[in-house]
């Protein structure tokens, strides 16, 4: 698993960015992050500004994706 295989998801209530498997990001909502958290929106790549580059990327998602 690498960070480029993931999309950036966001939990609206906490503002935390989570990593979502690219394969599941194409499916309709709801989505689940690799850490198990639910996300409300999926926007862009996990290794982009809305994922790792955001203000609050999920620590567990970073660990699980090795990023």
**Residue that has been written with the tokens 């990593």 in this structure:** 19
8 contacts Zn ion (rule: CB under 5 A): no
Interface with Zn ion (CB under 5 A), residue from 20, 33, 39, 42: 33
Minimum CB–partner distance for residue 43 and Zn ion (Å): 15
Cα separation, 46 vs 21, in Å, equals: 9
Cα separation, 4 vs 21, in Å, equals: 10
From the list 1-9, 21-29, 36-44, 45-53, the region that binds Zn ion by CB under 5 A is: 36-44
From the list 2-10, 11-19, 23-31, 42-50, the region that binds Zn ion by CB under 5 A is: 11-19
55 SS3 class: coil
């Amino acid at each position: 698993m690498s960070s480029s295989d993931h999309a950036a998801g966001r939990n609206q209530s906490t503002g935390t960015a989570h990593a979502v498997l690219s394969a599941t990001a194409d499916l309709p909502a709801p989505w689940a992050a690799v850490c198990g958290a639910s996300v409300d929106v999926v926007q862009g790549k996990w290794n982009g500004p809305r994922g790792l580059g955001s203000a609050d990327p999920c620590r567990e998602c970073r660990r699980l994706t090795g990023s």
